[in-house]
Amino acid sequence: MSTSNANLEKKRHSLAHLLASAVLEQFPDAQLGVGPVIEHGFYYDFKLPRPLTPEDLPKLEQRMKELAKLKLAFERNEKSFAEAKTFFESQNQPFKVELIGDIEKFGTTEAKTLQQLDAQLLPDNSNDGTVSLYKTGEFIDLCRGGHVENTSEIEPDSFKLDKISGAYWRGDQANDQLQRIYGLAFETKEELEAHVALQLELEKRDHRVVGPQLNMFLFHEYAPGIPFYQPNGVVVRNELEKFVREVSYGKGYSEVRLPQLFDSELFKTSGHWEHYKDDMFTLESEDRTFGLKPMNCPGHMLLYKQSLYSYKDLPLRFAEMTTLYRNELSGTLSGLTRVRAFGQDDCHIFVTPEQVTDEVASLLERTAKIYEVFGMKIEQVTIGTMPEKALGTKAEWQPATDALEAALKKAGWDYSLEEGDGAFYGPKIDMRIKDVLGRYWQLATIQLDFQMPQRFELEYVDSDGTRKTPIVIHRAILGSFERFMGILIEQYAGALPTWLSPVQVAIVPVSEKHTEFANEVLEKISQSLPNARVEVDSRSESMGKRIREASKMKTPYILVVGDKEIETNSVSVRGRNDADLGVQSIDDFISNLTSEINERK
């Protein structure tokens, strides 16, 4: 969530009530699902007698504004499970009745997609035999609380209804199909407008549109959520992998390539079979059950176990970029952002407890250096400490958490503690990255893990000859290549830095008689930069058309060569956005290009 502003959360939550209220006025038979706060606003799900159209939104929005002006309060009312169910049955609200049933049975709602539900909208998990209802004007909802004092706190122009989409009750295709109304809400009208303007800009940059236009990737219904990398996308991916090998990994790392298909026994040992099986693709062969790996860690533990290591071998760093598979619900898939198959700049570092601080400090430095290359900044750093449900003892957690703090201090970084936000197997450092569009991303993560090494009974021989259990650091810096490519395409609106561009130089001879010279220029560039991606476009199309096409494909440099250039052994250089970079000698052009590519600009 891009805001931790509790007040804004309350406004958004309150607006969800107003939306439901407005919908019920217009559709008295509407059945209500849930209406959580989300990034930038809120939504609410409804079962309605007819499909909504975009024209419905202004009317509902108008009614919400009117309701807001009525200074409505949120009156809390506690009911027993039975009373609450009877009430919602009388209102013909079967989804609410179902939720109350789950709270009664499980002490919580066993929603399949609980993460999608805002905890605020659900009653306390206090198990005191009651649930809370909130009344706003005429409208009563099952709700845990967390509203504005009264609705006049909401500035009428600070929110708007945004869009409609389909949704299944509890995200399950087997259930009723509902209609979801999304709303945007901010503190002020200005913030809303800025957000809408940014969204418009982002729509133009949407990687799902720009990527296929640039022959980077496409999707096909035969492989939902798995990108087909087209030739230009493979160039970018290969460059990123090379970058990862050189910079994100570097000399001290051992790249491995393990199977993508493992016997389920592996995942039983790692714990994934118990906790993660539903998100895995599984298959049978010769009466054995296999799973496509959703993460690299189990394989890395198994590989470590095949040799006996001494403390002198540590830190031992297994790095891997092979494809991971997750059986995500098809309804949740989206472009490169939410996929079923992806690679990562993943690594598992096996260390002694004494090595944690230095290793993490060096990872922090590396992370900052990496994001600088892409014009991004690390804006916020948190340490997640021992959560309520954690494996291991406080005595194990404290020194590990201290080691992370020591690493951050050593690196001289500001950070805050997020109490209870660690993974169940150990504390972690999360980094929020800000891109040049001002968007925030959770990409880099450094996690300590005491548990998996124990489950796999991993050992190293310490200096005193005793066998000890190593600690594992899980680390990814760019995160998923797929998601990172999506972010890059949007950040740069497809005009990737020269070193990443699929074609770096397009040479356009003015007419046929200049083609030979164009090829000579290409040859000269290739001699200095054997891996440079240079093309001569000598098709019998007009010069204007050829320049436009190269420009449309976001080629960083277009060299036009005609009589004048041949005479002076030079090239006329056009940069992006039709920038005229003037006539340059071939050597000067090559020398500039070389430093640009070598410095990854």
Binding footprint of a copy of itself on the chain (CB under 8 A) = 173, 218, 220-223, 226-231, 233-235, 237-238, 254-263, 265-266, 281-283, 285-286, 290, 292, 299, 302-303, 306, 312, 322-323, 325, 327, 329-330, 340-341, 539
Q: Least distance to a copy of itself from the beta carbon of 334, Å?
A: 16
Q: Least distance to a copy of itself from the beta carbon of 476, Å?
A: 18
Confirm whether 143 is a catalytic residue: no
Give the H/E segment covering residue 316: strand 316-320
Sort strands 309-310 and 460-461 into parallel, antiparallel or unpaired. parallel
Q: Least distance to a copy of itself from the beta carbon of 329, Å?
A: 8
User: Which of the residues 160, 170, 272, 326 is marked catalytic?
Assistant: 326
Q: Least distance to a copy of itself from the beta carbon of 223, Å?
A: 4
185 vs 514: CA distance, rounded Å: 58
Confirm whether 348 is a catalytic residue: yes
Give the H/E segment covering residue 47: strand 41-47
User: Which of the residues 31, 93, 120, 344 is marked catalytic?
Assistant: 344
Confirm whether 428 is a catalytic residue: yes
User: Which of the residues 10, 12, 317, 428 is marked catalytic?
Assistant: 428
Q: Least distance to a copy of itself from the beta carbon of 591, Å?
A: 19
Nearer to a copy of itself by C-beta: 52 or 461? 461
User: Which of the residues 12, 93, 297, 483 is marked catalytic?
Assistant: 297
Burial class of residue 156, CB neighbours in 10 A (0-12, 13-18, 19+): middle
Confirm whether 297 is a catalytic residue: yes
Confirm whether 147 is a catalytic residue: no
Using DSSP, state whether 479 is helix, strand or coil. Answer: strand
Nearer to a copy of itself by C-beta: 135 or 305? 305
Largest Cα span, the chain: 92
CA–CA–CA angle 129, 133, 135 (5° rounding): 160
Confirm whether 272 is a catalytic residue: no
User: Which of the residues 12, 474, 475, 514 is marked catalytic?
Assistant: 474
State how far Cα 133 lies from the chain centre.
Answer: 35
Confirm whether 305 is a catalytic residue: no
Question: How far is CA 245 from each of CA 241, 252, 290, 343, 378, rounded to the nearest angstrom?
Answer: 6, 10, 30, 13, 21
User: Which of the residues 118, 162, 345, 346 is marked catalytic?
Assistant: 346
User: Which of the residues 348, 533, 554, 574 is marked catalytic?
Assistant: 348
328 vs 275: CA distance, rounded Å: 15
Nearer to a copy of itself by C-beta: 25 or 255? 255
Q: Least distance to a copy of itself from the beta carbon of 350, Å?
A: 14
423 vs 442: CA distance, rounded Å: 15
What's the half-sphere exposure (Cβ side, CA atoms, 13 Å) at 105?
9
Q: Least distance to a copy of itself from the beta carbon of 220, Å?
A: 6
Sequence-ordered list of residues with C-beta below 8 angstroms from that of 316, at least 6 positions apart, any chain: 254, 304, 309, 349, 350
Nearer to a copy of itself by C-beta: 303 or 493? 303
Nearer to a copy of itself by C-beta: 376 or 488? 488
Q: In terms of Cα–Cα distance, which of 431, 260, 448 is closest to 359?
A: 448
131 vs 80: CA distance, rounded Å: 6
Nearer to a copy of itself by C-beta: 128 or 221? 221
> In this structure, which amino acid lies at residue 318?
F
> In this structure, which amino acid lies at residue 567?
E
Nearer to a copy of itself by C-beta: 331 or 392? 331
| Catalytically annotated residues | 297, 326, 344, 346, 348, 428, 474
